[in-house]
Amino acid sequence: MVFSLSAAEPAKKPNILFIPIDDLNHWVGFLGRNNQTKTPNIDRLAKMGVAFTRAYCTAPSCNPSRASLMSGLRPSSTGCYENNQNWRPGIGEDKLLNTHLAKNGYVVYGAGKIYHGAGDRGGYFDDYYPGKGGAMKLHAEAKNDGVGGIKFAPLAGTDEEMPDHAVVSWCIEKMSQKHEKPWFIAAGLVKPHMPWNVPKKWFDLFPLEQIQLPPHMEGDLGDVPAAGVKIAKPTGDHADILKSGRWKEAVQAYLATIAFCDYEVGRLIDAWEKSPEKENTILCLWSDHGWSLGEKEHWRKFALWEEPTRTVFIWKAPGVTKAGGLCARPVDHASIYPTLCSLAGIPAPAHLEGADISVLLRDPAAAWQLPAVTTWMKGNHAVRTEDWRYIRYADGTEELYHDAADPLEYVNLAAKPEMAAKKAELAKFIPTKDAPDLPRGKGGEAEDGGGAPGKKKGKAKKKAK
C-alpha cells in the first residue's frame, strides 16, 4: 500500500525516523566490503526492510551532500560544492525537507548533525537539540592524537559521555511522547566523523595484530589524469601515514568508531521497536558520503571514486517494504526527499531534481534506468550505473571503470577507442550546467568541520512559513 489521504476519511500520515550518519563508508556488514567490521544493528535494520547496495551521495563532502539531500537540489544547481560555503543563498530555507514536512502537518524534531555546521538548524524545526559540546581525555594508552590531519586515539571516558549518546537519548524521549500530529525525528549522528576518538572498549574489539589494510595497488594513480591525482593528494595524508607506519592503527580506529556508531543506531532501533507507533513509522538511514583510507593513495572523502561516494542507505516503510530486500539498482541521495513525499502522501515540491524510488522499495528488482550522479567541486562529475563508473573533470579529462569486472577501480579505460560509445552513453547524465560557486567563509565551515555538535544557533521559529 501507499500512504495517501482520502477525502472521506483522512489516513494518518506515517511518522518518519530519519537517521543521518556522518562519514560512514561502505564498511558495514551487509555490504560485504570489509569483513573486519562489526555492525550488527545496521545489519539488523537492513534485514527489516530494503537496503541498497549501490547507493551514492550527490557530493562527497558533508556540507554539499547534506544541503543537496535536504533540499532535493543537486550541487550543480545550488552552487554549494564544498564545506566552507554557505548553502543558504543557493537554496533558501523554504525549500528544505523539514520545512516542507512542517507545512504538510508534521511536528518536526531535529538533533545533532543534520545540516553541515555544528548545531546548524537549517529550515523549520518545532524543537531542535544541537547536542552537548566538550571533549574527553585520551586514554592513557593512546600514543598521541593521530598522524597529521588524520586524527585517532582511544578515549578514557564512557559511551554516555559521547555527544552522539545524548542526541540519541533526546530523540528516544521525543519518540516516546504522545503526539497529536505525525512526527519527523532526525537523529544526526556525528561519528564516525574524525577525530576517530571513542572509548577504548571499541578499539579492543579490533586487535591491532589482526587488522587488515584496505585493498590497494602500488601505482594505482598512474592511469588517472592530473585532475584526479590533484584531488587524491597522494603526497599529503597518504604519504604521512606511510611514513608513520600507523596505517593499521588508523584502520583500527575507524572500525572502532563505526562500531560505536552502530551501537547508537541500535539504541534508536530498540526504542522504535518499543514505540506504540512502530507499525506506522518509516525508517530511513543514510550516510552522507563514503571515506577512503588509502585506496588510490587517497584519504578522506573529497573524490569521485567508489570509496568516497558509496553510502549506507536503508529504508523500512510499513506496507511498502518487505523484510530482507536487497536492491542493486544505482540510486543517489537526491531520491530521499521525493520518496518521503510519496510515502507520506504529501505533494512533492516542483523544485525537486531527484527520482522517487518507491517502486524499488516495493520491488527491489524492478526495472530502473537512472544512474547515480555525484559532483565534487564545480564541473567535476561522476556517473555510476550498475556496471560502470564514468568521471569527467572540469578540464575535460576522464576516467572510466568497468566496476562489474574491476570493483576496486584499478584500470582506467577512458583512453581506449573502443570505449567511446560507452563514455558517450554515460555522459548524457552529466549535469548540463554548473551553478556559480556560492560565497565562502561566513555561514560555512572548514574542510572537516562538524566534529562534535556545538551550541544552538538562533532561536526556534514559531511556525512554518
Residues 201-250 pLDDT 10s: 999 999 999 999 999 999 999 999 999 999 999 999 999 999 999 999 99
Give the span between the Cα atoms of 373 and 177, in whole angstroms: 39
CA-closest candidate to residue 3, choices 106, 12, 48 = 12
From 57, 80, 100, 116, the catalytic residue:
116
CA-closest candidate to residue 320, choices 357, 275, 371 = 357
Give the span between the Cα atoms of 132 and 152, in whole angstroms: 21
* Residue with the three cell numbers 560557486: 437
261 belongs to the catalytic site: no
Domain 15-364 = CATH 3.40.720.10: yes
Cell numbers of 134, please? 566538550
pLDDT in tens, the chain (465 residues): 233 333 333 568 999 999 999 999 999 999 999 999 999 999 999 999 999 999 999 999 999 999 999 999 999 999 999 999 999 999 999 999 999 999 999 999 999 999 997 567 899 999 999 888 767 899 999 999 999 999 999 999 999 999 999 999 999 999 999 999 999 999 999 999 999 999 999 999 999 999 999 999 999 999 999 999 999 999 999 999 999 999 999 999 999 999 999 999 999 999 999 998 999 999 999 999 999 999 999 999 999 999 999 999 999 999 999 999 999 999 999 999 999 999 999 999 999 999 999 999 999 999 999 999 999 999 999 999 999 999 999 999 999 999 999 999 999 999 999 999 999 999 999 999 999 999 986 544 444 433 332 333 333 333 333
451 contacts 106 by C-beta, under 8 angstroms: no
Amino acid at 253: A
59 contacts 79 by C-beta, under 8 angstroms: no
Helix axes 62-71 and 336-344, enclosed angle (nearest 10): 30
Q: What pLDDT does 11 receive?
A: 63
184 contacts 174 by C-beta, under 8 angstroms: no
Give the span between the Cα atoms of 364 and 358, in whole angstroms: 10
Give the span between the Cα atoms of 407 and 204, in whole angstroms: 31
Indicate the Cα dihedral angle 206, 216, 373, 236, nearest 10°. 90
pLDDT tens readout for residues 303-349: 999 999 999 999 999 999 999 999 999 999 999 999 999 999 999 99
Q: What pLDDT does 119 receive?
A: 61
80 belongs to the catalytic site: no
Please state the pTM of the whole predicted model: 0.93
Give the span between the Cα atoms of 133 and 451, in whole angstroms: 10
From 62, 171, 261, 284, the catalytic residue:
62
Give the span between the Cα atoms of 32 and 314, in whole angstroms: 15
What's the Cα-to-Cα distance from 179 to each of 5, 12, 107, 154, 320, rounded to whole Å? 19, 12, 8, 40, 24
> What is the three-state SS of the chain?
CCCCCCCCCCCCCCEEEEEEECCCCCCCHHHCCCCCCCCHHHHHHHHHCEEECCEECCCCCHHHHHHHHHHCCCHHHHCCCCCCECCHHHHCHHHCHHHHHHHCCCEEEEEECCCCCCCCCCCCCCEEECCCCCCCCECCCCCCCEECCEEECCECCCHHHCHHHHHHHHHHHHHHCCCCCCEEEEEEECCCCCCECCEHHHHHCCCHHHCCCCCCCCCHHHHCCHHHHHHHCHHHHHHHHHHHCCHHHHHHHHHHHHHHHHHHHHHHHHHHHHCCCHHHEEEEEEECCCCEECHHHCEECCCCCHHHHECCEEEECCCCCCCCEEECCCEEHHHHHHHHHHHHCCCCCCCCCCCCCHHHHHCCCCCCCCCEEEECCCCCEEEECCCEEEEECCCCCEEEEECCCCCCCCCCCCCCHHHHHHHHHHHCCCCCCCCCCCCECCCCCCCCCCCCCCCCCCCCCCCCC
Cell numbers of 201, please? 572498549
